[in-house]
A and B are shown apart, each in its own frame.
Chain A
Amino acid sequence: MSDLAQYVLSGLSAGCVFALVALGFVIVANVTGVYNFAQGDYVMVGGMIMVATQTAGWPLLVGVLTSAVAVALVALAQERLTVAPVRRRVGMLGLVIASLGFGIVLRGLALLIWDKDPLSLPSFHDGTFGLLGARLDDQTWFIWGTTVVVLIGVVGLFRFTITGKAMRACASNPTAARLLGIRTGRMSMSAFVLAGAISGTLGAMIVPVSGVSWDSGITVGLIGFIAAALAGFEHPGRAVLAGLGLGVVQSVGAGVISSEYRDAIVYMTLIVYLLGRDLFDADGMIRRIVAARATSRTKRPRRAVSRVPDAGDAVPDGPRFAWPMLVPVVALLLLALAPFFLESGSQELSSATFVVLAAIAATGLGLVMGLAGQFSLGQAAFVLVGGYTVAILTTKHGWDPTAALLAGVVLSVIGGGLIGAMTLRLQGFNLAIATLAIHLSLLVVVSQATSLTGGALGIIGIPTLTVLGLDLADPSDFYWAAMVVLVACLWVARNISGSRVGQALRAVGQDEDGARSMGINPFRLKLVVFVVSAGMAGLAGGLWAFTLQFAAPANWDFTLTISLVTYVIVGGIGSVYGGLIGAVVVGGLEYWIRYHATSGLEGASLQWELIMYGLLLVVFVLFFKDGLARAFKADSVTGGLDRLRRRRTSASGPPGADIPTAAGTSGAAR
């Protein structure tokens, strides 16, 4: 009994952090509509600054205040740089990715300044106290006290002050709020500053209990996001309760089941919640089954196209070569030339191989993000599934390499189908969170299930790939095989993108109601694209295992997901070749940084890579939305010429000389 009290009460401390991070999510989402993926990193930065102030010998209170103010300034900077200037030009997906990029930059900077070892501090006050049979550190009082004070403050702000009410008005209708004289820009700043100050304070308070390291923001942010999602991103009170609950779940799970799996247990509550929503929602599975019962299930027979003659004449079939194709063609040529210039077995060729494999996974991710308009933060999870399937089946069960590779693809596809079925029906960023949660859970599992996966050290002794008797042991032979797979995946992606499925998804992305009215089922199309994407990632993972000849959690961790997302964004989210282009350009840059720009210890370059990724994400999402694929877009050139010409005619000719065009464009504007 006292054990349980111990778990629950100590879980409340972690729960306070999750609760306040969730509160930060809800405040920012409520006022600005942005799901701020950097929220967890605020807590990390707060902790780091607290450690720095204590190392410098500052008083505790000054340290906490400094953390709060510093993180509030960081949040303010984020709002001014990545939200305020662009909120009308960039869609919600863009703002969210920009916040992710900002968080990654923070992680990279933390790694650069404070290095990778976790830091900690002694308790603010030495001693322990007993409560309900549990024994707790005195630090608990500080955490609980801060949480209560913050909660009272926030509730008071939103309920009783004009500013709080104005902030809420901004969320529900920014235009109306502006018409009423509310300065929405200032409210947006306030929301970020408030969320930053809260996270910074708690980040400082929690250091003596859980320590702080450059990547501790990922878990905190994810669990906070889950808590906010459980509250529907709307109710601050419910978000706080959910955060506290998740803290208790984590602590009890750690005590009763296993401390290694404690985070995975929390992530599973998200999966249970999503499953539940899929069952019981207004448009959920149960509702649909009931509706289907009332209706006969017979589908309307497809009517023969009798009223319309079938034209036998040639019809333009898909896009032809055009200048925009220049960029992907150059990228592919660069990859194809690599084996001629790079020595077989060299570091450079193996880097090039990784670029090809990443391009395969990124091509899949590009379909999900560009075509289905969904944000996945778990593409590396499917790579991991493919890689470990190959590793386990070839080394422990003696499977044929090709069969193991296919098994990895099949498992990824099944996994993608299950996750997609749970999340793609719902609006918002559930897919991103669910895939990230599953990836982090899988990483825990492969690190812990030592007998099956070899734990953190991984599985070694994976054989080289043989396909239909063709031995691909030589690195340059393997490289060619990977290139063939990449080209095949690009071809499939292009087919899908140019097909009626691609067109239908583009319609869904712009106006779901309109698409539905034409009989297009958005969920099914998104699911099928997500499954294809998972399959490509699984394929890449399997090949990865064969070329590395070992499988370890670090091969396919969250960093890989960040890389893949960056490739897609930099390459161009609207192009099927975005993943390819991004992989060649950013991947090339990454390996150059790793092996040339930063010499020294393995992993010493991680901070620079993170900062590069974060900055690229922010800059491209906000300012080069179309990515490199559209750098030579035909209509961007001719469009520019048109604009130039129009300016010249209106300057030389009489005003109104170009009325026909003006009328055409104003008609379109309506």
Chain B
Amino acid sequence: MSAVEQVAPGTPAPPAAPVLRAEGLRRTFGTFVAVDDVSIELRPGRVTALIGPNGAGKSTVINLLAGTLIPTAGQVRIADVRVEGLRAEEVALRGLARTFQTPKLYEGMTVLDMVMLARDRFGRASFLEIALRTPRTRRDRRASHAAAMAHLERVGLAHQADRLATSLPVGSQRLVDVARALASEPDVLLLDEPAAGLDHTETHDLTALIREIAAEGLAVLLVEHDMRMVMSIADDVVVLDRGRLLAAGTPKEVAADPAVIEAYLGTVAA
């Protein structure tokens, strides 16, 4: 499918300017500081893993990057444009796609319908044309259908396209969510615990898919608990603890960091 060579993990990628840059992010809820002075850079072609114990602020960071939450302080730039005051849909239109911890599935919609939703932005027909169902509206629909099918093909769900999304097993639901995110053709992809609830094979397939996506030049942020998965595909790892940046670096560096071992890996090993 992709013209780009698959790059093995750990290979130093050619230096590319970060497509998403967050600096000094801080978010408070009342007196509680959920995230404090966190900076993250996501570069095209690289998978950055965001890890940390429960309550470390990982989800808050994702929500801050995606525009679901507005930071109390700090900046988020996508392609050098500040986006931290924008609403989620505006951030999305600037090239950021995300998945959710619990896949967002809509009652009564087929898998194909769900992926076509992400193609909404590519529709060229105006509302008036839609109301009058002009030929351009129909062309839009065909294009959207074809593109959605192609993205389903890629995650291996094309044969399930006409099934209701809610009737699929959890593993497939997560893949629908990934296909949905990819179908919007983003530059930045935020994956919020994509392997939660997946079995061994499914996790393996998903890992391969994420590698392939990154190899095509997307910047991927992966929030994940499965340390084996993180260590096998992340180019960079960012560790959060109680809202603060604990460590950042390559998987090896982070795994060797005593502070990380104490705060996070230590508890996993135990």
Contact = CB atoms under 8 A, between A and B. Distances in A.
B130 A501 contact: yes
Nearest to A670: B170
B105 to A, nearest CB: 8
B60 interface: no
Contacts of B122: 302-303, 305
B233 interface: no
B252 interface: no
B167 A517 contact: no
A644 interface: no
A283 B87 contact: yes
A56 interface: no
B167 A295 contact: no
A270 B259 CA distance: 56
A67 to B, nearest CB: 45
B109 to A, nearest CB: 7
B122 to A, nearest CB: 6
B204 interface: no
Interface string B115-158: 01111111110010011110001101111111101110000000
A499 B130 contact: yes
B135 to A, nearest CB: 11
Interface in A186-233: none
Contacts of B164: 668
Contacts of A305: 122, 143, 147, 185
A290 interface: yes
Interface stretch (A309-317, A416-424, A559-567): A309-317
Contacts of A298: 81
Contact of B167 (A311, A496, A667): A667
Interface stretch (A35-43, A174-182, A342-350, A502-510): A502-510
Contact of A496 (B104, B120, B131, B166): B131
B140 A309 contact: no
A291 interface: yes
A521 interface: yes
A522 B92 CA distance: 13
A500 B131 CA distance: 11
Interface of A: 283, 287-288, 290-292, 294-296, 298-300, 302-303, 305, 307-311, 315, 317, 492, 495-496, 499-501, 503-504, 506-507, 510-511, 513-522, 528, 532, 664-665, 667-668, 670
13 contacts: A287-B85, A295-B82, A299-B93, A303-B185, A305-B185, A495-B131, A504-B120, A514-B104, A514-B106, A517-B92, A518-B121, A664-B167, A667-B168
5 nearest A-B pairs in the assembled complex, by CB-CB distance: A291-B85, A514-B104, A311-B146, A519-B92, A516-B88
Given A307-B185, A506-B109, A511-B104, 17 more contacts: A283-B87, A299-B93, A300-B94, A302-B121, A311-B145, A495-B130, A501-B127, A503-B113, A510-B106, A514-B106, A516-B87, A518-B89, A518-B120, A520-B89, A528-B127, A665-B167, A667-B168
